[in-house]
Amino acid sequence: MSDVDELVERVASESGKPVEEIRAKMSERKEKTHGLLSDYGAAYAVAKEYGIDLSDGETSVTPLSNLQPSNSVNIVGRAKTVFSEREFTRKDGGKGKFASVVLLDNTGESRVVLWDKNTAVVKKLRVGDVLLLKNGYVKENRGQIEVHAGALSNLAINPSNVTVELPEIEERIDSISALEPGLPSVNVICRVNSYYPKTEFERSDGSKGSRASFIAEDETGTIRAVLWDPLSDAELKEGDIVKLENAYTREGLNGEVELQGGSRSRIGKSDVKLKLKPLDKKKAGTVKVEDVKPEMRGFTLEARVLRVYEPREYSKGMMASLIVGDGTGSIRTVLWNEKSSVANELKEGDCIRIKNAYSRSNMNDEAEVHVGKYTEVTVDSGIKVPTVGEINDKLTEEKKIADLDSGDRFVKIKGKIVDVEDRALVYMTCSECNKKVQNLGGEWMCEECGVVDGKPNMIASVVVEDDSGNIRAVAFRDKAEKMLGFDLEEAMNIIGETQDEQAPLAHAREKVVGGSITLTGRVNYNDYSEQLELVVDEIS
């Protein structure tokens, strides 16, 4: 490297400006002198413009504990915390930028506020670096002394002409497995396993916000990381190794720890090598049904909808569920709260992509896919998975009734209908959300939607028997009609003619008792009757 190159590098370092900008200014200086100024002289001229002394003399600095408002000062300190650049709107409508750094010396610490072009320094500055600020000005803000770097200030990172002894700072990097809710300042180095690009939203006060998120992983575990507002503009891709600094943690909607990158955080690429298995370059984060295990996070599943179960209330809100499959297996998928309405838009046979899902184990220690606030569910007919019939044929297992267990899915039984149970065949549901409604004062009342138009539906409960035992089989809507051999309209006509809601039962017994039937469905344990029952999905 030539002497001139060394000077250029030094000016760039101490000013915080790019080398290209320094060389461009040198060229401007030389043009103004019609080539009479050498590269060497141009470098010194640009250094002087930035207030940089290229001599070996030491810069005089003020200890941080001696700062007083209104003073013009030179200070030097070691970077303890570095905050990302932010934009703001000035009173005249123009745009400005600011960033800040907490500097530490042997006498104390102080916040340094960088304005406009000076904010470029934070892109290079790292915790533990030495920062020299020349011609800063001191202000008091909420009782705290701050140093501001404005248009006339100069900044240098790790300058060579400062010999002040400064305390060492060892940067703390946190392991993902050690994170818990409520941590105010967290630094992690991690790999981007799955990335979910920036989306915009409207806050309760009407202002606009934005967020992006990714699944972060290190050698100890994984965690969901959310980047808010300016930080959501970070250009990330799956496989990147990044450092997220001065983030905080909180408990997410699903009780899991989440990492949050806010206005005081910053994120950037890191050269640190993590001992992690390579990501699948073709489709990072996408799994098959057979690969889903409990306590996974941030994965994508492409599958076909095999069953849809309508939304219903639970203690904390609403939920719905699906059974989906992809040829390697089937799995229950639970949609929580606002995502439960997605079930109303899906039908059997739809190909769906579930992105940013997480998994839990059910009471039988089987994995389930869960869809939360930040999970995306989209229908895509281009997804290549087997048909419903192909999946059912592969997954269905024929069993004797005595061999059925709670939690069995896709089980087939063959037997005879020996009884139709004494329960009304017609029940009223909400025309909006399909939940069961009550008749109050001559009006149909839905707990979710209020007063609605009632919509009749059929339910059938029969006892099926084979040579090993018997079981109650329950079917709804079109499957109930098929199991009993007559439809809802006929049942309503019988009730209308007889004015007896139980009358269709006698008609059903005449048609089906003693007949053979083949049913496919799932087995539940009914706490009320303390018996197993088969919820019917298919009749043949």
User: What residue numbers bound the domain in which 194 lies?
Assistant: 176-269
Q: How many residues does the chain have?
A: 540
Name the residue among 258, 217, 212, 216 with its Cα closest to residue 235. 212
Q: Does residue 185 sit in the same domain as residue 114? A: no
Q: Does residue 415 sit in the same domain as residue 384? A: no
What is the chain's pLDDT, residue by residue, as a tens digit (540 residues)? 566 788 888 888 877 788 899 999 889 888 887 776 778 778 878 887 776 766 656 677 899 999 988 767 889 999 988 888 888 888 888 889 999 999 999 999 999 999 998 998 888 888 889 999 988 889 988 888 999 998 878 888 888 777 888 998 888 899 999 999 888 889 999 999 888 778 888 888 888 889 888 989 999 999 989 999 989 999 898 899 999 999 999 987 667 899 999 988 999 999 999 999 887 644 446 889 988 888 787 789 999 999 898 888 777 788 899 999 998 888 999 999 889 999 999 999 999 999 988 888 876 677 899 998 878 899 998 898 999 888 888 878 889 999 988 878 788 999 999 998 888 888 888 776 667 778 787 788 887 677 878 888 888 889 999 999 999 999 888 888 888 888 888 888 888 888 888 888 888 888 889 999 999 888 888 888 788 998 888 888
Specify the number of domains making up the chain.
5
Residue 239, token pair as written in the block: 């496989």
Q: Does residue 529 sit in the same domain as residue 401? A: yes
Cα distances from 46 to residues 152, 273, 332, in angstroms, run 14, 38, 67
Give the separation between CA 350 and CA 370, rounded to whole angstroms.
18
Q: Which amino acid is at 394?
A: K
Instruction: Give the end of a domain, one of 391, 407, 432.
Output: 391
Cα distances from 416 to residues 312, 476, 535, in angstroms, run 33, 19, 16
Q: Measure CA of the first residue to CA of the last residue in the chain; give whole Å.
A: 83
Give the separation between CA 264 and CA 273, rounded to whole angstroms.
26
Q: Does residue 419 sit in the same domain as residue 523? A: yes
Asked whether residue 107 is assigned to any structural domain, the reply reads yes
Which CATH number is 110's domain given? 2.40.50.140
Give the separation between CA 118 and CA 67, rounded to whole angstroms.
21
Asked whether residue 276 is assigned to any structural domain, the reply reads no
Instruction: Give the end of a domain, one of 333, 356, 391.
Output: 391
Q: Does residue 413 sit in the same domain as residue 522? A: yes
Interacting residues of 507 by C-beta distance below 8 A, sequence separation 6+:
486, 491, 494
* Secondary structure (H, E, C), 137-168: EEEEECCEEEEEECCCCEEEECCCCCCCCCCC
Asked whether residue 55 is assigned to any structural domain, the reply reads no
Instruction: Give the end of a domain, one of 391, 413, 429.
Output: 391
Q: Does residue 449 sit in the same domain as residue 528? A: yes
Asked whether residue 274 is assigned to any structural domain, the reply reads no
